[in-house]
Amino acid sequence: MNQAPEPATNQKLVTLAEIREAAERIRGVAIRTPLLPFGNDAWIKPESLQPTGSFKIRGAYNALAGLSGERRVAGVVTHSSGNHAQAIARAARLLGIRAVVVMPEDAPQVKVAGVRADGAEIVFVGPSNEERVARAHEIAERDGMELVPSADDRRVICGQGTCGLEIAEQLAEMGGHAPVTVLVPVGLGGLAAGVGTAVKALLPGSTVLGVEPALAADTQASLEKGERVRWPIEQVGRTIADGLRGESPAPLPFAHMQRVLDGVLTVSEEEIAGAVRVAAASARLVLEPSGAVTLAALLAHRDRLPKGAAVVVASGGNVDPGRLVELLATG
């Protein structure tokens, strides 16, 4: 379980200036999601309200909108378990770009339907993240298409960082609550890298914690060891949080997370399911399990958080209706 993959990247980290540029680029496409009060001194930032149902539209649109005319004509290809696939499909449709997405055959049908609705072509492979990446690279090389990874890309990280930029701006508009604790989901790490970069730059003294399922705690293990380690798909595939089955943090996001994360919390499957129910009943939000892990951490581990205000990034709400009914009916 702890065999290390290739070394982390030596690329330079993204800057706050790049994140601000991304914010201008995605304006009018990604929405400025609100900070919803939740309990005492806590807020939920519901990225589930984005046009494609998750934060991924931020990074996807930023990456595609910055392409040259020549690269747009060539088209784009990506690999994703679902949310990034939907975001690339939507961004490509808005920009008039051909898109091919490589998805696992067990991807939630609601996410597959979203990709098809925006006109992207789908190539299905097995459940392994490595297989998706390899196939996407093959297609990019064969057809000369632009490869836009779901996390290991500075354009994507900058786009995701706009979520952290908004958190800082919104807290300032409310009179400021710094320092705060920001909880952000961790899959391959693009969102955590971008949000952490923005929050650390704009809210000095704040704490940024990643959250991942205990069954897919590869980032926690990687940060503890000081290098990227890989968990097998047979292990991470057991979590209901399908968007966080990353196996290993991506190289460039991992380099950021080593700098900007103050730690990683893990949550159980029962805690994740409970958070989905609480989100629906108390916050009137539909969250997919991957989007509910941060709320699960707030609910189950508040005593482990620094004292003071907390912001929960609820990353997405793309859950199959039948699965949602099951989650709401249990517990």
Could you list the active site residues? 56, 81
One-letter identity of residue 267: V
Torsion angle of C-alpha atoms 121, 124, 130, 134, degrees rounded to 10 = -50
Dihedral sign for Cα atoms in the order 218, 275, 115, 198 = negative
d(CA 100, CA 72): 13
Neighbour count for residue 167 (Cβ, 10 Å): 25
Neighbour count for residue 21 (Cβ, 10 Å): 15
Which residues are within 8 A (CB) of 248 and not within 5 positions of it... i.e. 6 or more apart?
A: 5, 129, 218, 222, 228, 229, 230, 231
d(CA 175, CA 184): 23
CA distances from 187 to 5, 213, 253, 254 (A): 16, 9, 10, 11
CA distances from 9 to 5, 101, 181 (A): 12, 24, 28
How far, in whole angstroms, is CA 123 from its chain's centroid?
Answer: 22
Query: Exposed (0-12), middle (13-18) or buried (19+): which is 16, by Cβ within 10 Å?
Result: middle
d(CA 199, CA 293): 20
Torsion angle of C-alpha atoms 220, 224, 228, 231, degrees rounded to 10 = -50
